[in-house]
Structure 1
Amino acid sequence: MEATREIYWNVNHGLIWVMYLFAFLAVGACGFGFWKRLPMYRQAKPMERLDRLALRIKLMLQGALTQAKVLRVPEPGTLHAFFFWGFLLLFIGTLLIMLQVDFTVPLFDLTFLKGTFYKTYSIVLDIAGMVAILMLAGLFVRRFFVKPEGLVTKRDDYLAHALLFTILVSGFVIEALRMAATEVTVNPELARFSPGGLLLTPLFAGWDLGRISVAHKVLWWGHFFLAMGFIVAIPGTKLRHLFTDPANYLFTDLRPKGSIATIDLEDESAEQFGAAKATDLAWKDVYDADACTLCKRCQDRCPAWTTGKPLSPMRVVQQVGEMALNDPQGDLCRYVTEEVLWDCTTCRACQEICPVDIEHVNKILEMRRNLALMEGKFPGDEVRGAIANYEVNGNPFGLGWAERGAWAEGLDVVTLESGEPFDVMYFVGCYASFDRRNQDVARAFARICSAAGVRLGILGKEEKCCGEPPRKLGNEYLYQTMARENIEKIKGYGVQRIVTTCPHCFNTLARDYRELDFDIPVQHYTVFVAELIEQGRLQLAKGESFDCTYHDSCYVGRYADIFEPPREIIERLGGNITEMDRNRMESFCCGGGGGRILAEERVGTRVNVARVQMAGETRAPMLVSNCPFCLTMFEDGIKTGGYEGDMAAKDLAELVAQRLR
């Protein structure tokens, strides 16, 4: 007997049209539900997210089918991923039945669900269904019994679990009833290829055919209408992410990481800068709320939330969606609250861990722009004072122009204004120019370059802040003013290559300045020094080995994906790195990004102290970083965190300079 089964056994074939009618109505209702949500997206500003369509489709398929981003957090990512794959296989199995019944048999008299293919089909779908039930049970226990802190449980969660459990379990019960009547005694060999149904057939031992037939028919139609109800419920509940999440991979930002829209400040028709209300944001910002699964991964990794601040990236995304739906012209900044908006360090940890490519940071920056440009607001008086110093002196300290290049006295560093030849321009930045502790880093980097035969040129008194801190605080006008002046000076001197020791300067010059017609190559010094060593131009003396822990600064690590060069340099120097639990892409912010270096922390634990405590847990006597903001924050965190005498903060450039041959 060839392995196969009667499709729609015990279901009146004359009523199949009823099944298709309700299926059509359910799919139509689902589509209409999504259609009704379109005006919510359309009321926001336009944004191009369908360019490079082939690449976008590839990313969508990769993201949805591999579940790679979901699996980055094994718990509960594994449960979600295997549930998805199981459910997907069941859906494909249903489509194959439709294909055979409605196309291949009536059109070509071709039955392909038979023989070895049918056996494979049957066992794969049964295993997929059992895996889906087990994974759903795991998710159920996690949500309703384990209850991780911060996990939001809503009515939708009860509905989703109830519907999915009932649909999956009833499917196996229906299979067991069919098998009890047609396979267990008639063809037991074939029954082995349906292990899920076979497991339940003992429940119906002793039932006569009539009783089995009635139970099967009632359950079959009940199962069908539950499935149709599930489809109808999708757009109006959390279940919508079944469609919005794959689409969000399609709409992902293909620009370099951290890109921010550059405002046309000369547009005389513009009446609003930044986002005062939901409709001031881009449609993708509103759409993200529908894609959000409330998994709280972003919240768990947010340094502000972790240290007791009110900022939850997950909540901000939801608040944007709530305002767009219920009060699109309402005061968005007050709904989210100013305190929440100023707490963000723009570390990007939320976006990197998000399994569905939600963009948290730029929403916050757009609201900050409204606060700064339209309302003249900043986190505190200390920030207002720093902004005034930028405006007058081009640096946050309020120090004079002439002092900007004083750190380089006695070193083989020339000012571009002098006209002397140089190999690479060093964009020094404000902290390395004026802050005494970071001046040591600038001098160390200069000595490294001299030892490698690379002569540095600097703008000196002609350099201004790159503009990154004011920009991240919402002051786009001040950023563009300083950026354009820097660009004009740099281009005027015919600079061919730039290196920075500040990750914030690096990202700003290498990425943001591109929108202001600046195309000169820019490198962070960790990559530059690694290249010098690799090329044999920089000779390092062997010394005693040392123990340390290494901090991946956000703007070198998550923003620029530079993880290994700094570690390779430390190892070449004889360093033994004990990694902190939060390292590489999972690194924890120092607390200085997003302009927070200028602001006081008034709520919760200080972020820098929290990071220093993580370093302290490694028991390493040295905390190595590669960013002036990080070094400044760690010096303070070591003092206030009680680690003086037990730990020293060092910049990687200082370690290299100590080992120059």
Structure 2
Amino acid sequence: MEATTEITREVYWNIGKTATTVGLMYALTFLAMGLVVYLFYKRYKVYQLGRPLNRTDNIGERIKYMLTNMMGQIRVRRNSRSGIAHSLFFWSFIILFIGTFLIFVQTDITGVLFDYVFLKGDFYKIYSLSLDIAGLVGVIMMTGLFVRRFILKPENLITSREDTIIHVLLYIILITGFLIEGLRMAATELKTNPEWMIFSPVGMVIAKMLSDVSQVSLLLSHKILWWFHLVIVLAFFVVIPLTKLRHMFTISANYVFKDKGPTGKLVTLNMEDENIESFGASTVKDFTWKDIFDADACISCNRCEDICPANATGKPLSPMSVIHKIGDAAFNDPERNLVDDIGQDAIWSCTTCRACEDICPSANEHVSKIVDIRRNLVLMEGEFAGEEVMKAMDNVEVNGNPMGLALASRGDWAEGLDVAIMSDATDILKDPVDVLYYVGCYASFDARNQKIARNFVEICNASGIKVGILGKEEKCCGEPIRKMGNEYLYQELAKENIENLHKYNVLKIVTTCPHCFNTLNKDYRDLGLETEVEHYTVFLDRLEKQKLIPMEEKEFDCTYHDSCYLVRHNDIDSEPRSLLDSAGANIIEMAKSKKDTSCCGAGGGRILAEEHLGNKKINVDRVNMAQETGAPTLISNCPFCLTMFEDGIKMADCEDSLVVKDLSEIIVERLKK
């Protein structure tokens, strides 16, 4: 090559652009791409085993979410050093892909149609330098990921033969790419335009190492290595649909197909459809196509298992394994009974906290699958998590609460308070309440939680808010029952509650239970509830910001527990902290807080079940996290959490150093008399 004044390089240098060469190159490329399409089509046919599901509504918003998360690697990078390495590797490969695409554009479009070359001058300098840096970053990140997977070997990280194949292919692609560049530069730029080499620093190092190699050897080695590199790249593409490399496409698609909410809302079954022969799921054909597709998006990163509170305390539940077994059954044995495959102990261990879904870089949906299997167990097989759960369901069916206490006494806790019982208020239309307080079962019948109900009313009274309750017309919201699989009983309860809620035309419903709040605010919408619903922390925070709560600030140290059904299901974490701050709290955060909170163990209907499995209790595990902060007070805002923590403190034998309080108790203690 002769020296020139404008930096550039000849595309397909030493390879030639004869019809035979170009024809062979494109024949191999089209053959490989055709095989890739065919292999993905075969997988698509398996997805179709699942039930229909519309996940293409609001397609513009979905594509925007996909592009933001794919290009920004937001979910991948979250709380993970290996995720950051993966993201850097991804970005480096994107740059290399763009570089290859630009060569195609110049060679086969602008060069052929317009005789225009744009890979030259300053643009080429940026182009060449960017590709070299990207390739080097790719090699470094690959090395780091290789060391983590094959040398450090994290305890729960699954490594298979396909991981070895993937790493080898990627290494060969990156290293041969640099060697090809070095050989070309040693045969050309090193001798004619050495000043250009600074814009390909890695290639420059390799070229200088090859400075003593003869021109004939350089040309021959370059040509052989160029064709070898092409074949390896095409082999890499063919391997994609056969290995978990398919996540390159399936995760992006999964971002498009992601459930757009409301977050954690379950599908409401049509219990009156006589054409439905089976409710819930026992085989892959009972799931939706998206449930099967999730298995192809899973990259076995183990994050869901690492963060699962059930798994962390020795329960047999692995959210990742649930996804894998559904996928394995779909592709290998669609008639397989998934209940037997996954195991009932694993299925009943889930607290539906959504930690797995929140952390998953693939946007997989674990909880709905588990609840669907529970639905099949309860509605079709008559199986329950335990006799105590079956008894609680019987109690709800007869008395409207899992404790089995008399329905008529549901409002007794409010005796002596300035609260309107809606059915007894004769002038309710003339003198309407400001809010209807949906009390819930624990605040209605459990002595400890009745104090919380009374606190809420007292705070509202002090703030000039008139409160009404349904009293004996209120029944269990049905959330624990539903999460334990009894969709039929849940819907019966919900319909009766909705009828009573609508009867009084209230404008706002407030709950002190996150589970009641989540159910009324989301799930009841499918059955006709239209009234606005708020959790009391949000409601009281607004009152406090409006200076309506006559509260004195008194400093104290505490740690705060984010209820899963507030923070993960409803993104509520700032309002409770704002209230505590106004009360004078110095909050010492636990190691796991806000979106990274750890479950108390009561969600998913587990409040009704005994915890027999595992090497420790979930509530004790969380209490130990609170103890580690050194704070004397643990603040909660959920009746389930409060109950679990009081038991956990006793079991952890730390009653002298830690006390649990509901947030309402902190406020009441500071009300101006």
In the alignment, what sits opposite 1:377?
383
TM-score (norm 1): 0.99
1:36 aligns with 2:42: yes
RMSD: 0.8
Deviations 1:270-291 (A, max 9, x none): 1010001111001000000000
Q: CA deviation at 1:407?
A: 0.6
The amino acid of 1:316's aligned partner reads: V
- Matches of 1:188 and 1:12 in 2, distance apart? 23
Aligned to 1:190, which of 196, 203, 217?
Answer: 196
In the alignment, what sits opposite 2:371?
365
1:500 aligns with 2:500: no
In the alignment, what sits opposite 1:598?
608
- Matches of 1:524 and 1:572 in 2, distance apart? 18
- Matches of 1:138 and 1:98 in 2, distance apart? 31
In the alignment, what sits opposite 1:655?
666
The amino acid of 2:472's aligned partner reads: K
In the alignment, what sits opposite 2:16?
12
- Matches of 2:326 and 2:371 in 1, distance apart? 13
Aligned to 1:623, which of 618, 634, 658?
Answer: 634
Q: CA deviation at 1:203?
A: 2.8
- Matches of 1:596 and 1:584 in 2, distance apart? 22
In the alignment, what sits opposite 1:55?
61
In the alignment, what sits opposite 1:584?
594
- Matches of 1:574 and 1:472 in 2, distance apart? 37
When structure 1 is superposed on structure 2, of 87-96 and 415-424 the one drifting more is 415-424
The amino acid of 2:24's aligned partner reads: V
Q: CA deviation at 1:55?
A: 0.8
Aligned to 2:289, which of 283, 289, 301?
Answer: 283
1:642 aligns with 2:653: yes
- Matches of 1:215 and 1:10 in 2, distance apart? 10
After TM superposition, the structure 1 = structure 2 runs for residues 323-362 of structure 1, keeping only pairs within 5 Å, are 323-362=329-368
In the alignment, what sits opposite 2:489?
478
In the alignment, what sits opposite 1:462?
473
Does the 8 Å contact 2:185/2:203 carry over to 1?
A: yes
In the alignment, what sits opposite 1:408?
414
The amino acid of 2:454's aligned partner reads: R
In the alignment, what sits opposite 1:127?
133
Aligned to 1:223, which of 229, 251, 258?
Answer: 229
Aligned to 1:3, which of 7, 26, 33?
Answer: 7
In the alignment, what sits opposite 1:451?
462
- Matches of 1:608 and 1:317 in 2, distance apart? 26
Aligned to 1:170, which of 176, 196, 199?
Answer: 176
Q: CA deviation at 1:12?
A: 2.7
Aligned to 1:553, which of 563, 569, 573?
Answer: 563
In the alignment, what sits opposite 1:435?
446
Q: CA deviation at 1:403?
A: 1.2
Structure 1 unmatched runs, 5+? none
The amino acid of 1:223's aligned partner reads: H
In the alignment, what sits opposite 1:86?
92
Aligned to 2:210, which of 191, 204, 212?
Answer: 204
- Matches of 1:377 and 1:491 in 2, distance apart? 35
In the alignment, what sits opposite 1:614?
625
The amino acid of 1:570's aligned partner reads: L
Q: CA deviation at 1:185?
A: 2.3
Count of residue correspondences = 660
1:562 aligns with 2:566: no
The amino acid of 2:16's aligned partner reads: N
Structure 2 unmatched runs, 5+? none
Once superposed, which parts of structure 1, at least 4 consecutive aligned residues long, lie more than 3 Å away? none
Deviations 1:55-101 (A, max 9, x none): 11111111111101111123111100000000011011000000000
Q: CA deviation at 1:47?
A: 0.2
Q: CA deviation at 1:7?
A: 0.5
1:312 aligns with 2:318: yes
The amino acid of 2:632's aligned partner reads: P
- Matches of 2:409 and 2:634 in 1, distance apart? 30
- Matches of 2:47 and 2:385 in 1, distance apart? 31
Does the 8 Å contact 2:190/2:208 carry over to 1?
A: no
- Matches of 1:321 and 1:196 in 2, distance apart? 42
Deviations 1:107-132 (A, max 9, x none): 00110000000010000000000001
In the alignment, what sits opposite 2:526?
515
Say which SS state the counterpart of residue 69 (structure 1) adopts: helix
- Matches of 1:324 and 1:542 in 2, distance apart? 59
- Matches of 2:537 and 2:403 in 1, distance apart? 26
After TM superposition, the structure 1 = structure 2 runs for residues 214-253 of structure 1, keeping only pairs within 5 Å, are 214-253=220-259
- Matches of 1:33 and 1:55 in 2, distance apart? 29
In the alignment, what sits opposite 1:156?
162
- Matches of 1:423 and 1:61 in 2, distance apart? 44
Deviations 1:234-269 (A, max 9, x none): 101111111101010010111210111100000011
Q: CA deviation at 1:523?
A: 0.2
Deviations 1:22-57 (A, max 9, x none): 011111111111001112110110000011111111
Q: CA deviation at 1:542?
A: 3.0
The amino acid of 2:496's aligned partner reads: E
- Matches of 1:435 and 1:199 in 2, distance apart? 75
The amino acid of 2:52's aligned partner reads: P
